[in-house]
Amino acid sequence: MASKVVVTGLGVICSIGNNLDEFEQNLREGKSGLKDISANRFDTSDAFFRSRQGCTIDQELYAAVFQKDVTVLGELSVRAIDEALQRAQLDIRKIDSRRVGLCLGTSVGGSYPFMEWVKNRIDAKEQDFRLLMHSTPNITSRIAAQFGIRGPLSTISTACASGTNSIGRAFDLIRSNRVDCMIAGGVDIFTYLTYSGFNSLFALSKGACQPFDKGRDGLNLGDAAAYVVLESLESAQKRNAPILAEVSGYAIVNEAYHATAPHPDGIFACQAMQNALKMSGATPDQVDYINAHGTATPANDKMELKAIEHLVNGNPVYVSSTKSLIGHSLGAAGSVEFVATALGIHKHFIPPSINVKESIITTDNIKLVEGKAINYPIDLALSNSFGFSGNMASVAIRSFN
């Protein structure tokens, strides 16, 4: 019999908070994390950039983390995981570490050291960046070693669905009784490489991103590390751990449609949500809230709205895109949005969308939460991640009573 999977800990660092409490406060208030990109991060003075802003973490924190870890990803992850473990009241040293695993999702990965290595090779400088040490899989291994995790490890890179897929992979491992506990999430710090790439696709907004708004012109990139502690219900109850929510369903499909653009009809996005609900034993009319992928790119928002309309079929549902506050954190997007959703379930509020001037939503049953969070008892929510190359993922999260 499959084990129930519950959420016992959350940890997050992003542009609107260096910890979960700051994140919750600014999330509720609808505070934007958008700011000018520091010249100490990288130079944005080139005329071809559509924007010189992003939802970056505090520069002081970035500099401190960079001094310890040139990838930034490992050290930032350690800090977020440490918070999640503390909130879960979990000491890995006191349990069977072979029954604890780690799933890390990332899109950027160890690209910064590789870029520096390439530049130094071009400039004929003699500098050893120890690329193997900074490779993406090794980042995961070093984190596991630091916490004494001896169970299964996964490094997942499925574009913007990576964070959700890392949680889904952890869910599957616990549900099949292969482990008792998993630390899962995602981390990405955008670099000159990713910023230039999205700029070249004309995907960056010239100002603040506006998901589901008629004037939307693209996304803001964001930094984030977000991790959750997932456990079997039996493990959590045995420890008398705090239970924040239940993960009840997960699905991933691939459109095989286009390298960057989603299928315009939203049929595969809808399928991902339907499959997650089916595993959850729920029906679309039971969904209270959908944390949308909501990138504020013209194609994605239009597609996702079609998918949601088809899914709920006239039934009422609340929708928002937290990317309007924290930006698109690529491989971490799904995990930070999962944290926002699970937090909303536990604390009885629905996170907002901001920057909405004229919504593209025309049906009365789909209610876009605007400006600030609303108090609402969420029983069932979906968190969506729809990535490049057709990677579509959705996770169903329930309140735990």
List the catalytic residue out of 14, 55, 103, 160: 160
Beta-bridged to residue 199, according to DSSP, are none
Please choose, from the candidates 59, 84, 82, 55, the residue with its C-alpha nearest in 3D space to the C-alpha of residue 72: 59
10 Å Cβ neighbour count for 332? Answer: 38
Tell me, what DSSP letter sits at residue 177?
T
Contact 364, 269 (CB under 8 A): no
Q: Cβ–Cβ contacts within 10 Å for residue 382, how many? A: 28
CB 386 within 8 Å of CB 262: yes
What is the DSSP secondary structure assignment for residue 360, as one 8-state letter? Answer: S
198 SS3 class: helix
Do 366 and 73 form a contact (C-beta atoms < 8 A)? no
CA distances from 381 to 78, 246, 345 (A): 28, 10, 8
What's at 388, amino acid-wise?
F
- Could you tell me which residues come within 8 angstroms of residue 180 by beta carbon, excluding any fewer than 6 positions away? 95, 96, 99, 100, 174, 231, 232, 234, 235
Q: What is the dihedral of CA 278, 284, 289, 295, to 10 degrees?
A: 80
Q: Which of 134, 263, 328, 346 is catalytic?
A: 328
Any catalytic annotation for residue 209? no
Rounded Cα–Cα distance for residues 139 and 119 (Å) = 22
Check 134, 263, 293, 346 and give the catalytic one: 293
184/102 Cα distance (integer angstroms): 6
396 in helix, strand or coil?
A: strand
Residue 328 annotated in active site:
yes
Is 3 within 8 Å of 174 (Cβ atoms)?
A: yes
Active site residue 134: no
In the block, tokens 């996964």 appear at: 154
Catalytic residues, by residue number, are: 160, 293, 328
